[in-house]
């Protein structure tokens, strides 16, 4: 990630127990970020996944919303990301959004997620809570726009921010959208499984510490 250079940019441009949606043969996730190297053996105290779902959902929801907001602004005001990520991961976010500014691009639309599963929840050797969440991040209704790209049809912009699907849209409107896609070179995201590491001294202080593509079995290709 998935978001080594911005969660959406990298997508479009270029455990207490295993969850029921993950194959038992899939190995437990390994932490990619330097701060995760201190993860301790499995015999450390564990938390029940149910106990962390609410806080983990809140953090990831906020994280994706702030990502969309900064992306819509062309990658400026990245400081808004600090409250939801660790200082270690903030530098990755900062580099990712610098790419937005360098390429003079922005995003239109809203990122969603589904198939949310807590993969592991435990207390580290220094008492810090460590949570791994696997989920399907859906950027299929997020559009990458360049500064010189024509303004998308208003109906398309409204649809990107809605919960509807193309099947509910009339043929004339779909034809208009298709013409825009073909003439503008617009690129849309897609759905893919992502693992997100969260850390914090308490559940209420959890922050995103790293993200990456999940390579294990996951029903992300299914519609929510």
CATH number at residue 199: 3.10.450.240
Pairing of strands 112-123, 129-138: antiparallel
Is 173 part of any domain? no
* Per-residue pLDDT, 223: 64
Return d(Cα 66, Cα 94) in angstroms, integer. 13
Is 143 strand, coil or helix? strand
The structural domain count of the chain equals 1
What's the confidence (pLDDT) of residue 166?
78
Task: Write down the pLDDT at residue 63.
Answer: 97
| pTM summary value | 0.77
Rounded distance between C-alpha atoms, residue 67 and residue 34, angstroms: 22
Domain contains 223? no
Number of Cβ within 10 Å of residue 180's Cβ equals 17
Task: Specify if 107 maps to a domain.
Answer: yes
Asked if the structure places residue 51 within a domain, the reply is: yes
Q: In this structure, is residue 143 part of a structural domain?
A: yes
Q: Is 76 left (phi over 0), alpha (psi -120 to 50) or beta?
A: beta
Identify whether 1 is part of a domain. Answer: no
In a domain, 110, yes or no: yes
Residue 49, token pair as written in the block: 């996944």
Residue 29 in contact with residue 195, Cβ under 8 Å?
Answer: yes
* Strand order from edge to edge, sheet including 105-109: 105-109, 142-146, 187-188
Ramachandran angles phi, psi of 144, nearest 5°: -90, 125
Residue 190, domain extent? 7-25+43-149+186-214
Q: Provide the 3-class DSSP secondary structure of residue 88.
A: helix
pLDDT of residue 125: 80
Query: Does any domain span residue 88?
Result: yes
Give the Cα separation of 48 and 16 in Å (integer).
Answer: 7
Place of tokens 């903030």: 90
The DSSP string of 63-87 is: HHHHHHHHHHTTS--GGGGGGGB-H
pLDDT in tens, the chain (224 residues): 333 334 444 444 432 222 333 333 333 344 434 344 334 344 446 788 888 999 999 999 999 999 999 999 999 999 999 999 999 999 999 999 999 999 999 899 999 999 999 999 999 888 899 999 999 999 988 998 888 888 888 998 888 888 777 778 888 898 988 888 888 878 888 899 999 999 999 999 999 999 999 988 888 877 65
């Amino acid at each position: 990630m998935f978001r080594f250079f911005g969660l959406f940019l990298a997508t479009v441009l270029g455990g207490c127990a295993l969850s029921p949606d993950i194959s038992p043969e899939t190995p437990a996730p390994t932490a990619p970020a330097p701060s995760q190297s201190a993860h301790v053996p499995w015999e450390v105290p564990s938390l029940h996944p149910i106990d962390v779902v609410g806080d983990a959902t809140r953090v990831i929801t906020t994280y994706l919303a702030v990502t969309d907001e900064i992306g819509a602004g062309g990658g400026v005001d990245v400081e808004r990301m600090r409250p939801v990520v660790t200082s270690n991961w903030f530098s990755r976010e900062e580099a990712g959004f610098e790419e937005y500014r360098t390429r003079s691009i922005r995003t239109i639309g809203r990122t969603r997620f589904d198939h949310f599963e807590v993969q592991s929840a435990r207390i580290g050797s220094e008492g810090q809570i460590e949570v791994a969440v696997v989920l399907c991040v859906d950027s299929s209704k997020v559009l990458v726009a360049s500064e010189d790209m024509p303004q998308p049809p208003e109906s398309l912009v409204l649809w990107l921010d809605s919960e509807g699907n193309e099947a509910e849209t009339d043929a004339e409107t779909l034809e208009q959208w298709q013409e825009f896609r073909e003439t503008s070179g617009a690129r849309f995201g897609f759905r893919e499984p992502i693992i997100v590491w969260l850390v914090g001294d308490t559940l209420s202080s959890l922050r995103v510490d790293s993200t990456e593509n999940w390579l294990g079995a996951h029903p992300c290709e299914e519609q929510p």
